[in-house]
């Protein structure tokens, strides 16, 4: 399973520390979720499609969901998988497609429908029609998965929706000058000022955070500075907050001073958003592992 890379391009003009000033922006709402269980999309058997058309339909649905970061795979479900069961009903001269989420125990968890289309178009089962129906369905399926995740998280006393996350901060690495120390100090302050709970060992933590800095020359008088804040948990990476900008070459080889405070403050905002969103109710719907 993969995590979604969030790029926070905090660009501005002026001298230091202005290049790193700004806010996470609208893209901060698209943040990585915990690695979800697989969503199997078997070829439908009751949708009035030929075998080849049903296989193509399942593939189009799986690809559309995968494109919005729902880990869907066309094919039969395996133990522990969630399923998307596609169906279609004939009403007069029209066909109404429907889609049901089935949990690993076989229980239906919700159904959505899409707009009707002429029965003749459905019967023709050309790839363009099937792809269009899948494209119409994907946002609604994603919304349903999001609602299901939120309901389950809210009812789980161990969910991070119902208690603060315990965070282990591993430090900052790769910065020139005193950047590692300065960024780490300011980042800890920014997190704890918001009430975040930091723990001393990785074993006691729900979430791990690590900062990494990379620099590279661009123009003769400038260099590119990239600061990545990696957010992870035992099952893998949840997401990243990435700050990128150009600064005068060598300007960060000594004391970072106020630059560290600005960078760390913006980073802490992004990291908290990653944690909050991936704990439940975010737009990229994780599905709980195992049965209910």
Residue 27 lies in a domain: yes
Which residue range(s) make up the domain with 128? 39-155
Sign for the pseudo-dihedral over CA of 261, 33, 231, 237: negative
Q: How confident is the model at residue 154 (pLDDT cuts 50, 70, 90)?
A: low
Is residue 65 located within the same domain as residue 168?
A: no
Order the strands of the 5-8 sheet from edge to edge: 5-8, 236-248, 222-233, 207-217, 166-173, 197-198
Give the model confidence (pLDDT) of 93-106 as tens digits: 999 999 999 888 88
Give the model confidence (pLDDT) of 200-243 as tens digits: 888 888 889 999 999 999 888 899 999 999 998 877 788 889 99
List the CATH number of the domain containing 112. 3.40.50.10610
- Percent of the chain exceeding pLDDT 70 equals 76
Mean pLDDT of 8-27: 36
Is residue 36 predicted with pLDDT exceeding 50? Answer: no
CB atoms within 10 A of CB 240: 23
Residue 142 lies in a domain: yes
Is residue 195 located within the same domain as residue 270?
A: yes
CB atoms within 10 A of CB 85: 19
Is residue 127 located within the same domain as residue 170?
A: no
pLDDT attached to residue 125? 84
Is residue 16 located within the same domain as residue 72?
A: no
Burial of 234 (0-12, 13-18, 19+ CB in 10 A): exposed
Q: How far apart are CA 256 and CA 263, in angstroms?
A: 10
Q: Which of 89, 124, 155 is the last residue of a domain?
A: 155
Residue 285 lies in a domain: no
Least confident range of 22-36, 66-80, 148-162: 22-36
Q: Which residues pair with 39 in a beta bridge?
A: 72, 82
Is residue 190 located within the same domain as residue 127?
A: no
List the CATH number of the domain containing 244. 3.30.160
Residue 283 lies in a domain: no
Is residue 28 located within the same domain as residue 170?
A: yes
Q: Which of 155, 190, 206 is the last residue of a domain?
A: 155
Residue 288 lies in a domain: no
Please count the structural domains in the chain. Answer: 2
Q: How far apart are CA 101 and CA 292, in angstroms?
A: 13
Q: Which of 114, 130, 155 is the last residue of a domain?
A: 155
Is residue 174 located within the same domain as residue 266?
A: yes
Q: pLDDT averaged over the chain? A: 78
Mean pLDDT of 129-133: 92
Is residue 268 predicted with pLDDT exceeding 60? Answer: yes
Q: How far apart are CA 286 and CA 9, in angstroms?
A: 26
Is residue 113 located within the same domain as residue 58?
A: yes
Sign for the pseudo-dihedral over CA of 107, 110, 114, 118: positive
Is residue 195 predicted with pLDDT exceeding 90? Answer: no
Least confident range of 5-9, 147-151, 188-192, 277-281: 5-9
Q: How confident is the model at residue 291 (pLDDT cuts 50, 70, 90)?
A: very low
Give the model confidence (pLDDT) of 41-53 as tens digits: 999 999 999 999 9
Q: Which pTM was predicted?
A: 0.47
Least confident range of 18-32, 153-167, 248-262: 18-32
Is residue 32 predicted with pLDDT exceeding 90? Answer: no
Is residue 58 located within the same domain as residue 145?
A: yes
Is residue 55 located within the same domain as residue 31?
A: no
Give the model confidence (pLDDT) of 170-187 as tens digits: 999 999 999 999 999 999
């Amino acid at each position: 399973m993969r995590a979604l890379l969030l790029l926070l391009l905090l660009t501005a003009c002026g001298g230091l520390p202005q290049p790193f000033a700004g806010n996470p922006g609208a893209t901060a709402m698209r943040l990585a979720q915990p690695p979800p269980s697989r969503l199997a999309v078997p070829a439908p058997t009751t949708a009035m499609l030929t075998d080849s058309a049903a296989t193509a339909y399942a593939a189009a649905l799986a690809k559309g969901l995968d494109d919005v970061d729902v880990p869907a795979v066309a094919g039969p479900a395996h133990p522990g998988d969630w399923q998307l069961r596609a169906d279609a009903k004939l009403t007069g001269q029209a066909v109404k497609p429907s889609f049901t989420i089935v949990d690993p125990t076989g229980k239906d968890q919700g159904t959505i429908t899409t707009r009707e289309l002429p029965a003749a178009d459905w019967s023709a089962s050309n790839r363009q029609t099937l792809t269009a129906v899948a494209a119409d369905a994907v946002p609604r399926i994603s919304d349903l998965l999001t609602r299901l995740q939120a309901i389950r998280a809210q009812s789980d006393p161990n969910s991070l929706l119902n208690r603060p996350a315990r965070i282990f901060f591993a430090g900052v690495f790769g910065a020139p000058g005193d950047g590692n120390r300065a960024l780490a100090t300011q980042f800890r302050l920014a997190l704890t000022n918001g009430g975040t709970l930091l723990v001393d060992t990785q074993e006691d933590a729900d979430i791990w955070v690590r900062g990494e800095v990379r620099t590279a020359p661009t123009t003769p008088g400038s260099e590119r500075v990239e600061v990545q804040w990696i957010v992870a948990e035992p099952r893998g990476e949840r997401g990243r907050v990435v700050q990128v900008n150009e600064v005068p070459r060598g300007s960060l080889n000594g004391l970072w001073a106020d630059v560290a405070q600005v960078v760390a403050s913006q980073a802490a905002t992004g990291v908290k958003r990653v944690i909050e969103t991936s704990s439940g109710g975010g737009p990229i719907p994780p599905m709980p592992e195992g049965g209910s």
